[in-house]
Every structure is written in structure tokens, then in C-alpha cells.
Amino acid sequence: MANTMTKLGSQTATAQQYGFTFSSIPQTYTDLVLRISARSSYAAVFDGPAIFFNGVTSGYGRRTLGGNGTSNYASSNTSGSYLYLDNSIPAANASANVFGVMTIYIPNYANTSYYKAVNCEAVMETNGSASNITLTAGSWSSTSNITSLTVYSGSGNFVANSEFTLYGIKNS
């Protein structure tokens, strides 16, 4: 069980912004966690951000399970160019001023012996329409330690006041 959580970097969009990269990630922690509060400018109810590591655009797989109160859905892909977080933040056609919340957990990111696993939980509530919850199980088929992490908004831009904070976690 983690007993430390240290902020490694944080950024807030001051205007529309397509993406963020956290580079020179220290290798001295056990796990990483990225907390996001965001909304997209894309002309739809949802947008699907994506992440990739070390600038590498290959080897990503994921399965997403989602529910919105009236129906459930699932989607997946293998051998992707990025880890796609399907339907996980509100976009331009969602209720005004609603931001989604995401937690992306990456255990053992500094390990060089086995592939990396990613857990992403995303929720949004729009006070009457288009509530949505997604859970994405992801993987990166690489034994490389993670030294940088990039987040793209998907089809639109992250709007102003979207926030991104990366933490390092130690379990001892």
C-alpha cells in the first residue's frame, strides 16, 4: 500500500491545448498516477484522449468498458499506436462547464523486465444528461522503463482550465 505520493509536475491549460508531455520522469518511485480534470472542444458529447510513453507509438492494447445509466458498451484494440481512452472526457456537446475526472495508474513504471500495465478510471456527470463512467485496462508491450508520458486530447483540444498532475508513488 502506497504511503507516499509526490507531485512530479502539473499543468493547467490557459487556452485550448492539444497535448501535454511530462518528461524526465524520475525513476525513483514505485508507481505513477496521472490525475486529469478535462474537457474537449470536439463537436460531440465525448472525446477520447490518448496517452503514449517515451514518444513510442506502437505496442499499445486496451479494453474499455463503459456505462451511461441507460446502456453499457465495450470497445478494444490491440497493437495500437497509442493507448486510447474511449469516451472518457466530456466534449463540446456535453452540458456547458462540465469537466470529466480521470485517474491513470501505472504500476512499476521503472521496471525493465516486463511489459507495462495501465488502469484508467474516468467519470463525468452532467446533472441530467450524458453521465458516463469508463474503465480502461491498458497495456504497453515494452520492457522499457517509462521516462516520459504524453497525453493527447483526441479529436479536439483540451479546453482552458483542464488540469493535469503527475504523481510519483512509493510503497516504502
Partner 1 sequence: MATSVPQIVEVDCSTGIATTRDMTADELAAQAKMQADQAATMAAQQAAADAKAAAQASAAAKLTKLGLTADEIAALQS
Kindly list the residues in this chain that would bind partner 1 in the complex (CB under 8 A): 8-11, 13, 17-26, 44, 47-48, 50, 52, 55, 57, 73, 75, 81-82, 84, 86, 150, 152, 154-155, 166
Q: Return the number of the residue (8 or 65) whose C-beta is nearest partner 1.
A: 8
The nearest distance, CB 12 to partner 1, in angstroms, is 10
List, in order, residues 6 or more apart from 70 with CB less than 8 Å away.
Answer: none
Q: Return the number of the residue (140 or 152) whose C-beta is nearest partner 1.
A: 152
Q: Return the number of the residue (11 or 139) whose C-beta is nearest partner 1.
A: 11
> What's at 12, amino acid-wise?
T
The nearest distance, CB 126 to partner 1, in angstroms, is 18
Q: Return the number of the residue (57 or 114) whose C-beta is nearest partner 1.
A: 57
Q: Order of strands across the sheet with 100-107?
A: 4-12, 163-170, 31-38, 100-107, 116-124, 132-140, 60-67, 72-80
C-alpha distances in Å from residue 8, one per residue of 22, 25, 79, 167, 169: 9, 8, 29, 5, 10
